[in-house]
Amino acid sequence: RYSDFAALHASLTAQTTQSPPAPLPRKTWFSSTTTNAGLREDRRRALEVYLRAINDDTDSRWRNSGAWRAFLNLQSSAAGGANGGSSEGAGGRLTERSSAAGAADAKGAAAITDPALWLDSYRDMKTHLHDARLHLTRRDQETTPQRQHESSAMAKSSLVRAGSGMAVLENGLKEMGASGGRGNGNGNGEARSTAGKSGLGEGELRRRKDLVANAKKEKDGMEDLLNAMSAKRRIDSAVASIHDKEALVGGGKNGKASGARSGRVLGKETERTRELDNQGVLQLQRQTMEDQDVSVDELRKIVARQQELGIAINTELEVQSDLLKLTDEDTDRLQRKVDVGKKRVGRIS
């Protein structure tokens, strides 16, 4: 009835001391909605816009009020869940707020047997997963440890809410599956009543179970990423403290015993040795020495080959030198014979 919406508008304004984001549609006095179908449809659309404006507004003061919860027949425990869900973003439908409130805590939460409410809770859970991923990405982009810690805490909170929502969704699927089994096992009338309650077939139940399973995998992956980053940060801080301690102790020793014999210097820390312990450094050193031995063997083979080539070239040069000497001797002998021939020709002429 329009009077119920008018009472809701007045209660919201009185409890929040501020008018809702959308105005209440005016009541017409010259025509009745019972006889005018067009006016009735326009009234329904206007009231829907009014409710959606309250539900989708970023300010949650109207959704957290008692008048709003009483108007939608929400549970009394919905206030805490609405406060947590409204800060994460607006939902798709009005029932989404009630499902978010019910899924706020998995312990003692009633199972969701309404398919529409189940989908709304699933959207809430996916929203929390999306927020957790955004917080993890923002943490990687932060430059200060305080901002990184805040982003990690927000991501952890979103993952906890998503896990609670998954538990509620799984309980709802179990209840719907059990009710469907009882309905199929009894008479036709009871089966029809059970189908009216859940309205889901076996294929739809399997599809929703797959959705929850995929969401669980996504949540587990983000939790592993969150834990891995936290462990890496602890290791980095521990390594930094060790380096600081070594620098402090080393500076004190150098200041006290400047004339003492200096110890062996092994060199600066490198990227390959920074994350290794003593055994790892020793193994790395052995591997490096083995690689150097292999390189030396290859170099020795190359030098031996070059030596063989040099000896062969030297032998060939010696042979060619002997041939050149023989050629010179033959040339001298021929030149002498030519000279003797010239002399004899001169005598004859």
Provide the 8-state DSSP code for 149.
Answer: H
Q: Is the pLDDT of residue 196 over 70?
A: no
CA distances from 74 to 36, 52, 91, 137, 312 (A): 32, 16, 16, 35, 101
Longest dimension (CA), the chain: 162
Lowest average pLDDT, out of 46-60, 195-209, 225-239, 323-337, goes to 225-239
What mean pLDDT comes out for the span 43-50? 82
Q: Is the pLDDT of residue 263 over 90?
A: no
pTM: 0.39
231 pLDDT tier (thresholds 50, 70, 90): low
Q: Are 161 and 105 in contact (CB under 8 A)?
A: no
Q: What percent of the chain has pLDDT over 90?
A: 17
What radius of gyration do the chain's Cα atoms show?
45
Q: Is the pLDDT of residue 319 over 70?
A: yes
Total residue length of the chain: 349
**What per-residue confidence (pLDDT) applies to 322?**
94
pLDDT digits (tens, 9 = 90+) for 133-143: 888 888 888 77
Both tokens assigned to 39: 């006016």
Q: Give the residue from 83, 94, 87, 114 showing the smallest Cα distance to 54.
A: 94
Lowest average pLDDT, out of 98-102, 118-122, 174-178, 289-293, goes to 98-102
Q: Establish how many alpha carbons lie within 13 A of residue 129's alpha carbon, considering only the half-sphere containing its beta carbon.
A: 21
Provide the 8-state DSSP code for 105.
Answer: -
**Whole-number Å distance between alpha carbons of 232 and 211:** 32
Q: Are 102 and 168 in contact (CB under 8 A)?
A: yes
**Between residues 163 and 24, the one the model is more confident about:** 163
> Angle at which helices 188-198 and 145-185 pack, to 10 degrees?
160
What mean pLDDT comes out for the span 303-307? 94
Provide the 8-state DSSP code for 63.
Answer: T
Q: Is the pLDDT of residue 79 over 50?
A: no
Q: Are 50 and 17 in contact (CB under 8 A)?
A: no
**Residue 93 phi, psi dihedral angles, 5° rounding:** -135, 175
Task: Return the CATH number of the domain spanning residue range 1-73.
Answer: 3.30.1520.10
**Between residues 45 and 327, the one the model is more confident about:** 327
